[in-house]
Amino acid sequence: MPSPPPFGYYVPAVCFFDEKEDLDARAIKSHILRVAKGGVAGIIVQGTNGEAQHLSHEERKQTICLTRQILDTNGFSNIVILAGCGAQSARETQKLCVDTKEAGADYALILSPSTFPPQMSVPNVIRFHLEVADASPTVTAGLDLDSDALVTLAKHPNIVGAKLTCGNIAKLLRIASSVPASEFAVLAGKADFVLPGLLAGSRGCITALSNLTPKLHGKLFYLWKVAKGEEAMRQQATMGHADWALQKLGGIGAYGYGTGKVRTPLKEVTDESLQGNKHYEMLIDLIRMEERLDSKL
């Protein structure tokens, strides 16, 4: 029986492209090592920022293989890989799950189908995930369903977790208190409610902001662990404002590596175009805070 992803904070890693919009292996390596050194428990490949919809099936497998190789050859074999396997049919989703397992992923992250919304009733969505889980080597469910539906899905031995992006703490608490953490991991899906999520029983978080500030996420977890409540809340407030700023900008190219290119029809966000933007300046200040932190708290 598969185990849930380990406790900690996870990064939906950015996918980097070169000037020709081909995969930029050098930048991908730099980024994977950066977040690994920042203490992440796992890396999501083809997650929210991984541009899965813009990659071919072969490129999806290639990025997973590359990520696993980078981690293993640099002393980070303990870091797990979650692979985005979202597709509009159960059949394609099942194939993606098998592909990602073969490529070296530890878990698959599944999204509910969004085509033909009137047909996406709760029973149909539950049936979709159960069919995928039945045919998959390992599955982590990422669903936008109520707590009753998620608790039902948690009973399947191949469904071992859920990422909640909704920010509904009561929902998170209901799920976390209904299913043993040893069998099902509930993860906060945004940086603006990591601490409330931990207090409600989450097993960690998956946040876009951790691409920029993995060490600050580690600091928040440390403050929570040693029960420094007031300082932890200040840290959470800072991360909440930064998460909002990141959403407003839609992206940021302040890594120091990579071209900033994305695949058409997306449009790259350049540092030059953001000069004077208050949201951009907030994120730059946050990155400076990140650079001052020791990753081993």
Does 206 belong to an annotated binding site? yes
- Which of 64, 68, 46 is CA-nearest to residue 55? 46
- Which of 76, 55, 61, 84 is CA-nearest to residue 214? 76
> What positions carry a catalytic annotation?
163
Residue 89, SS3? coil
Q: How far apart are CA 171 and CA 173, in angstroms?
A: 5
Cα Rg, the chain, nearest whole Å: 18
Q: Cα–Cα distances in Å, from 64 out to 15, 53, 68, 85, 155?
A: 11, 15, 6, 12, 28
CB-side neighbour CA atoms (13 Å) of 1: 10
Phi, psi (deg, nearest 5) at residue 8: 150, -170
Other C-beta atoms lying within 10 Å of the C-beta of residue 287: 17
Token readout for 206 is 């998956």
Beta strand residue intervals within the chain, DSSP E: 8-12, 42-45, 80-84, 107-111, 139-142, 159-164, 185-188, 204-206
Residues contacting 132, CB < 8 A, separation 6+? 90, 93, 94, 97, 110, 139
Residue 111, SS3? strand
Q: How far apart are CA 179 and CA 237, in angstroms?
A: 29
Task: Enumerate the known binding-site residues for pyruvate.
Answer: 206
